[in-house]
Chains A and B, each alone.
Chain A
């Protein structure tokens, strides 16, 4: 058996495990947490495209996350049906992502981060202040979840399965992108923009396309979030929310396929656990942020792997090689 088909088997097994999760944990509360993890994983996968593969750190993605929810909520209260509202919402999200990307890609590196932060804050301001459109602090809500292809997803388990299907789609599309020539180009541009330019690649356009794709998946996650919660409020657009998604990417390990899922699992679980013990989640978030950045900037998964290797090497080095066979 080749290594890649072996890997494929593991991934298939993993998905079987995910799909049968509601059978293992019958408690609806935990199924809902699993749905939350998957929703944020989709958002983090979207952000990972631009942060991990393109090497551009965005602090405005929460705005792209929220905009689809807002668009759908507003369209539905204006009398649109579920399908029409969803299509309209996705269209508006893609358009916003394109404008957002075109503006912020005027710069790279720190400049990019500043512009995404500023635009994100402005969109937050609109959500918070333009009361007649967005209902201000209260946000917009929808009365029911959609019924895609006639399936009822009001209950925890069907909704989880629906979310899992979207997650699988997002993962497949990310994998397709990453292993495509475009994926190779964007990684090349991340590492050596000048050389890629000299080789004839359109650096700006490549970054822009990846940004729009990143925005697309983030806003799909936002749509799921709206369906999950039934409402979306300005709280979702704050810098803190952008930072949470970014932390998922960084903690899981950026530019990896499964890193965002690991990161969202860690953060969502921590958020649920932390908020039941301490009053203040943002203190915990800030501390984790600072600690991860200082001690394991490459992410928890790659960090654990590399420090595990180091430990093994250290262990091996300390002992004379002859005795290792017997001791291990």
Chain B
């Protein structure tokens, strides 16, 4: 039982990383918490299931869901957030209003019944190793999350695009002055964040399933991860996700009534002693 809990914790941590990495990047660049991020996760899941029902392969559906979410995210940034540039509070509240609209439309389209997502073919069942049963699909999710984490790290730290994003994060007006197309980066990062969230929504499906209210369950987890790990730090998002993954799973088994309280404790400690987060830099 300890073993499966550990596997579950790491799986959830991986999913949370996919969710919160985008959240953290958007926050770093645009200085707003995107409160539709939980909705992007849920919407990605629902869209993916719709593609699956059209007879698509699971991975194709996941990529297509990510792509659709990227387009939606880009549109949201261009059409809704861009006109409010410079007024962070208005932008945040707009993303909040948008999350209600998405939640309600999803309820209308996909009804209130939870949707079970089938485990993709070839990854069902468990692999036995050292007399331990590893659920293969969950390991695959962890593997994907790790791959994406490495990819994001390479993107941000090693490429020219990443350098531009980092410059935009550090000082957007100055980056603009030296000719970096910061506005285009905003759309790009927003689309990337939405795509990651949507992708996570479908690949998390066989484990979490998709249901109304999933959005408002995932959003606070992303918030806590980012508060814990520090804004705009991929490493922080990774460590924060793993911590929350473990606390969530173990907390629910050991103290079912207080699972939410236990999530809250590390956040409280971090806020008291290190308000910028574990890996955040001083403002």
Q: A: which residues have CB within 8 A of B?
A: 57, 59, 103, 106-107, 109-111, 113-115, 117-119, 121-122, 125-126, 129-133, 238-240, 243, 246, 250, 280, 282-283, 285-290, 293-294, 297
Contact = CB atoms under 8 A, between A and B. Distances in A.
Contact of A110 (B89, B103, B259): B89
Interface string B59-88: 000000000000000000000100110011
A297 B263 contact: no
Interface string B247-277: 0000000001111110110011001100100
Interface residues of B, number: 45
A241 to B, nearest CB: 11
Contacts of A119: 264
Given A110-B92, A122-B220, 17 more contacts: A103-B272, A106-B275, A113-B33, A119-B264, A122-B261, A126-B258, A129-B257, A129-B260, A130-B257, A133-B257, A243-B97, A250-B93, A283-B100, A287-B97, A289-B94, A293-B97, A297-B87
Contacts of A132: 257
B216 to A, nearest CB: 6
A294 B220 CA distance: 25
Contacts of A114: 33, 223, 226-227
B260 A286 contact: no
B101 interface: yes
A239 to B, nearest CB: 6
Interface in B18-37: 31-33, 35
Contact of B99 (A115, A118, A280, A286): A286
A286 B261 contact: no
A114 B219 CA distance: 11
30 contacts: A106-B271, A107-B275, A110-B33, A113-B33, A113-B92, A114-B223, A117-B35, A117-B223, A118-B220, A118-B223, A118-B224, A118-B264, A121-B220, A122-B264, A125-B263, A129-B256, A129-B257, A238-B216, A239-B216, A282-B103, A283-B108, A286-B97, A286-B100, A286-B103, A287-B101, A290-B94, A290-B97, A290-B101, A294-B80, A294-B94
B98 interface: yes
Given A122-B220, A238-B216, A280 B260 contact: no
A231 B282 CA distance: 45
B140 interface: no
Contacts of A243: 96-97, 100
A48 B176 CA distance: 37
Contact of A117 (B105, B108, B220): B220
B105 A283 contact: yes
Contacts of B124: none
B123 interface: no
B170 interface: no
A289 B93 CA distance: 8
Contacts of B259: 125, 129
A20 B31 CA distance: 50
Contacts of B157: none
Contacts of B103: 282, 286
Of A106, A286, A294, which is in contact with the most chain B CB atoms at under 10 Å from its CB?
Answer: A286
A66 B84 CA distance: 33
Contacts of B271: 103, 106-107, 115
A131 B89 CA distance: 36
A22 to B, nearest CB: 34
A315 to B, nearest CB: 28
Nearest to B259: A129
Given A114-B33, A118-B224, A126-B260, A290 B98 contact: yes
B256 to A, nearest CB: 7
A115 B267 CA distance: 9
B101 A283 contact: yes
Contacts of A240: 100
A238 B32 CA distance: 21
Nearest to B257: A130
Nearest to B100: A286
Tell me which of A103, A107, A125 has the highest count of chain B C-beta atoms within 10 A of its own C-beta. Answer: A125
Highest count of chain A CB atoms <10 Å: which of B97, B98, B256? B97
B267 to A, nearest CB: 7
A110 B96 CA distance: 13
B268 to A, nearest CB: 7
Contacts of A238: 216
Nearest to B103: A282
Of the listed residues B32, B93, B101, B108, the one surrounded by the most CB atoms of chain A closer than 10 A to its CB is B93
